[in-house]
Amino acid sequence: MSADQTREQKLVEYLKRVTGDLVEAKERLAAVEAAAAEPLAVVGMSCRLPGGGDTPARYWQALQDGVDAMAEVPPDRWRAADYLDPDPTAPGKAYTQRGGFLPDIAGWDAAFFGISPQEALRIDPQHRLLFELVWEALEDAGIPAESLRGTRTGVFLGLVDSRQYLQLEAEAEGAASIDDPYLTMGGSASAAAGRLAYQFDLRGPVMTVDTACSSSLVALDLAVQSLRRGEIDHAIVCSSSAIIHPVYFVQFSKMGMLAPDGKAKVFDEDGNGYTLGEGGGAVILTRASDAGERRVHALIRGSAVNSDGRSNGLTAPNKVAQIAVLRSALANAGLKPDDIDFLEAQGTGSALGDAIEFGALLEVFGDRSADHPLLVGAVKANIGHLVASSGLASLIKAIQAVKHGEVPGNLHLTKPNPVVTLDGPVRPVQSSQPLPGAPRRAGVSAFGWSGTNAHVIVEQPPAVARESAPEREWQLLPLSAASEAGLVALAAKLADHLESTPGGTLADVAHTVQTGRSALRVRKALVCRDIADAVAQLRAGFTGTQAPVSKQALGFVPDGDDWAEALAAVEPAFDAGEPVAALGRLLPIAASGSAGELAGRVDVVLAVDPGAGHVALRTGSRPEWLAVLGRLWELGVPVAWPGAGQFVDLPTYPFQRTRFWPNHTPTPFAREETVTTERFARPDLRTPFLPAGTPTERMVTEVWQEHLGIEAIGVNDPFFELGGTSMIGVAVVSRLAKEFDVELSAATLFERPTAAQFAELLDSLTADVAPRPATVDAQAARGARRRAIAQARKGAA
């Protein structure tokens, strides 16, 4: 072979290798891109929300019924009258005491989770609620908690560290609470997520996310990313919030964020704030390709998170950022604006915030045909603003909407905000409307007061044709609980459900409790002929068997082959051709032999011809065989349940709660006659200092000095260059409105940002003379504030 032929052959071989590598690289890249965009399946969810929403089904029913869950503070929290004053400037008072409350946040089943009473007392009620929500979501998913031990399962918790409970404990016990070693961990936000991972022995990433009102959706976005990167196989996304101490109401009142009448009038002309709420939720996620035969509530198609950056103030929304996060979520989902049928808005009920959000929706979704408008909802009008948990409350509503094909009407929407239209391409719904689309899709927004925005897109899952298992006359219902009281409550709860839910099959019920529930310590197995027989046995009353803590090793004593033929006649999953091996596929037989050979080697003995203490293998009929399986399971032997069926909705575990709460009722704050606070030097402004010249100017500058902590303010000093914010501005405007007995808008400071301009307005209002137009508009005021902050940063550097 010549040198030229050798070179040509090497070149051909090289090109083949490069071509093969290129094909393989393209295949790998395609796999990476597919994984990065794979939908996530919501396989389980739970909630505890105001208005009776203690399950997703009851929550949905409450929304359909138009329930307004607002009520006065429960008397076991504090005395509402002690902290109520319609005057927003009243020290230590709130101008409303109405919100969305759960019936019980003090009760908890500490024994169920193996936690001592003293530690339970120290754990923040918000953290305790998470344990129950996660357990219920796992049961809803049909995932026994013990099956996740040691697995790549992540915990993504949205939680605001309000420290209300720590304050309540300090007021109740003083130094005694500080001396308790459980105190710090009991109130730690990071420990709240860590406790869940510890409780369930989870080995994926575990984190607590606090971005205020967007916390739970930001946590969801992080879970989506972790699943798509292949870091984990399951994600638990959860969140909770509670109203524990009156300081919570007082603070939100001082910020001017609450609706005085206790009604969040979202997208309404009279919108003047939101109401506070409490509660929480949890969802279980897995990759859609890993969902297998599990029931899927919805798919997460995409998500996005961004920040407001610089806006009119730290808590002020930014329309440009909202538009950007909506478009980013659509791009992440690979969808167009027209693909979304419904959007659950942040919807806080403030005239300014609603106008900005609606404007952003019009910008993104406004180019739609009249026959396919974007329907918009806002659940805060029903249940209040749950702060960290608000995103999950909105998400579960959106999931139910795409599942049921319906959008409940928004409460308190009678006169639309001037920028809102009820017949345009973007429409808040006043009454329940059908949700078109195939598949139906919904967006969910949550915007944090610190500027972090999140948006998530959910989709109706593909219909899966599943045939019900043939209904057999006899089924085994294995029930278990952590206590005798829990077992009795579980039986009653299941009986109520079976009676109130016609049309179900006993085979599906049996399949669900056999494969989708944890096997707890106190057990009772019921062999039931049909639904009616199951209800009768559940109501008859019984005592459970205390199963050992560890799994029990099973030994088998065979005797001839007659038992195998009889078992094959009543159990289709049993193969009589290899009897012992076939039985081992149903039961974990550790050893077989004579009773003497098994003595001391196993914990439980199953025998065809039983001796003392043995479990008899009875195969004369299906009920006898099911009773054998049930008895072995009661004794702690793990059973590979042979029955078939579909997973169906059943009641979750009935926790047996004990009240863990400091023996203390908050009382109004004691106030000193004279409180001296430190004042600081006036910032170095471009504006020359000019002292107040009129009584009104002196009053305005004194109020500004008090709220800004500055010892001297000139009448031409711009409020925002002094470090003022929109939040402080609300308090300033409320105080001056009270002092002069006039009505002022919160936007007044943006229109008249100097003390001289503000004083001129007050003089004109009190003298009934029209004021001259302000010389500085809102945009100029914002620009001045930006320059002031930039100057301060430069000085600090």
Among 525, 782, 506, which Cα is nearest to 646's? 506
Q: Strand (E) positions, 234-373? A: 234-241, 276-277, 279-287, 298-307, 342-344
- In which band, very low, low, confident or very high, does the pLDDT at 124 lie, cut at 50, 70 and 90? very high
The answer to whether the CB of 656 falls within 8 A of the CB of 485 is yes
Q: How confident is the model at residue 774 (pLDDT cuts 50, 70, 90)?
A: very low
776 has pLDDT over 50:
no
Averaged pLDDT, 45-61: 98
The pLDDT of residue 797: 36
**In the chain, % of residues over pLDDT 70:** 92
Q: What is the pLDDT of residue 234?
A: 98
Residue 281 pLDDT > 90, yes or no?
A: yes
The distance in angstroms from the start CA to the end CA of the chain is 75
pLDDT at res. 470: 64
DSSP state of 600: T
Q: Rounded CA gap, 407 and 398, in Å?
A: 8
User: Is pLDDT of 790 > 70?
Assistant: no
Q: Spell out the SS3 assignment of 517-542.
A: CCCCCEEEEEEECCHHHHHHHHHHCC
Q: Given this structure, which CATH class describes domain 695-796?
A: mainly alpha
Report whether 40 contacts 288 (CB < 8 A): yes
Q: Would you state the pLDDT for residue 778?
A: 41
The stretch 489-514 carries a mean pLDDT of 94
pLDDT tens column, 597-649? 999 899 999 999 888 889 999 998 999 999 999 999 999 999 988 767 889 99
- Say which range, 300-304, 610-614, 616-620, 746-750, has the weakest mean pLDDT: 746-750
Question: Is residue 347 very low, low, confident or very high in pLDDT (cuts 50, 70, 90)?
Answer: very high
Confirm if 720 and 785 have CB atoms less than 8 A apart. yes
What does the pLDDT read at residue 675?
Answer: 60
pLDDT at 213 over 50: yes
How is the chain split into domains, by residue range? 40-459, 475-634, 695-796
| Cα–Cα nearest to 319, from 353, 343, 347 | 353
Tokens of residue 92, six digits: 């230590």
Percent of the chain with pLDDT over 90: 72
In degrees and rounded to multiples of 5, residue 659 shows phi and psi of -75, 120
Predicted confidence (pLDDT) per residue in 308-329, tens digit: 998 877 777 899 999 999 999 9
- What pLDDT band is residue 577 in, cutting at 50, 70 and 90? confident
pLDDT of residue 115: 95
The answer to whether 375 and 291 have CB atoms below 8 angstroms apart is no
Given a cut of 50, whether residue 786 has pLDDT beyond it is no
Mean pLDDT across the chain: 90
CB 298 within 8 A of CB 442: no
pLDDT level of residue 504 (50, 70, 90 thresholds): confident
Q: What is the pLDDT of residue 795?
A: 39
Q: How confident is the model at residue 228 (pLDDT cuts 50, 70, 90)?
A: very high
Report whether 762 contacts 696 (CB < 8 A): yes
User: Which of the four pLDDT bands, split at 50, 70 and 90, describes residue 27?
Assistant: low
CATH of 475-634, one of 3.40.1360, 1.10.10, 2.60.40, 3.30.70: 3.30.70
The rounded distance, in Å, linking the Cα atoms of 753 and 763 is 16
Q: Are 678 and 711 in contact (CB under 8 A)?
A: no
Is the pLDDT at 71 greater than 60? The verdict is yes
Q: Can you tell me which residue has the tokens 């899709």?
A: 441
CA distances from 622 to 473, 474, 556, 561, 569 (A): 9, 7, 20, 18, 9
Higher pLDDT residue, 65 or 574? 65
Residues in the chain: 797
The stretch 241-245 carries a mean pLDDT of 97
Greater confidence (391 vs 294) lies with 391
Structural contact between residues 445 and 328, judged by C-beta atoms closer than 8 angstroms: no
Give the residue-averaged pLDDT of 649-658: 97
Q: Is the pLDDT of residue 775 over 60?
A: no
CATH superfamily of 40-459: Thiolase/Chalcone synthase (3.40.47.10)
**CB distance 239 to 158 below 8 Å:** yes
CB 170 within 8 A of CB 688: no
What value does the mean pLDDT take over residues 506-517? 95
Flag the least confident range among 18-32, 542-556, 608-622, 653-667: 18-32
Give the three-class secondary structure for 258: strand
pLDDT of residue 157: 98
Q: Do 392 and 72 meet the contact criterion of CB atoms below 8 Å apart? A: no
Per-residue model confidence (pLDDT) at position 33: 58
* Residue appearing with tokens 């909770």: 240
Mean pLDDT of 541-558: 91
Going by pLDDT thresholds of 50, 70 and 90, the confidence category of residue 262 is very high
| 176 band by pLDDT with thresholds 50, 70 and 90 | confident
For residue 207, the surrounding DSSP H or E stretch is strand 206-209
pLDDT value, residue 21 = 63
Give just the sign of the alpha carbon dihedral 89, 93, 97, 102. Answer: positive
The per-residue pLDDT for 502 is 87
Mean pLDDT throughout 560-568?
Answer: 87
* 8 A C-beta contact, residue 454 and residue 303: yes
656 touches 112 (CB < 8 A): yes
CB within 8 A of 576, min separation 6: which ones? 561, 564, 565, 567, 568, 582
Which of the four pLDDT bands, split at 50, 70 and 90, describes residue 466? low
Out of 343-352, 440-449, 458-467, the most confident range is 440-449
Question: At residue 721, does pLDDT exceed 50?
Answer: yes
Q: Please determine, for residue 24, whether its predicted confidence score (pLDDT) is greater than 70.
A: no
pLDDT at 424 exceeding the cut of 90:
yes
Pairing type for strands 234-241 and 153-158 reads: parallel
Q: Which residue has the higher pLDDT, 572 or 770?
A: 572
Rounded to whole angstroms, the Cα distance separating 456 from 299 reads 11
Instruction: Give the angle 281-440-423 at the CA atoms, nearest 5°.
Output: 100
- Does the CA dihedral 351-352-353-358 come out positive or negative? positive
Q: In 10 A of CB 444, how many CB atoms?
A: 29
Which of the four pLDDT bands, split at 50, 70 and 90, describes residue 190?
A: very high
Identify the pLDDT of residue 549.
85
Mean pLDDT score, 231-241? 98
Over residues 292-299, mean pLDDT: 93
Of residues 596 and 342, more confidence is placed in 342
The tokens describing 791, both together, are 């100057």
pTM for the predicted model, two decimal places = 0.88
Of 88, 57, 52, nearest to 71 by C-alpha is: 52
Distance CA 382, CA 791 (A): 45
> What is the structure's pLDDT at 10?
76
Over range 386-400, report the average pLDDT: 98
pLDDT tens per residue, range 581-594: 889 889 999 999 99
Q: Using CA of residue 705, residue 710, residue 713, residue 716, what is the dihedral sign?
A: negative
Q: CA 692 → CA 717, 749, 755, 765, distances in Å? A: 11, 18, 8, 19
- pLDDT the model gives residue 379: 98
Average pLDDT over residues 152-178: 93
Higher-pLDDT residue of 194 and 471 is 194
633: CB partners within 8 A, 6+ apart:
478, 519, 523, 525, 639
Question: What does the pLDDT read at residue 782?
Answer: 43
Q: What is the pLDDT of residue 1?
A: 61
Question: Is 596 in contact with 628 (CB distance < 8 Å)?
Answer: no
Going from the C-alpha of 733 to that of each of 257, 521, 758, the distances in angstroms are 14, 61, 10
* Distance between CA atoms of residues 775 and 49, nearest Å: 49
pLDDT of residue 87: 93
Amino acid code (one letter) for 706:
E
The pLDDT of residue 753: 92
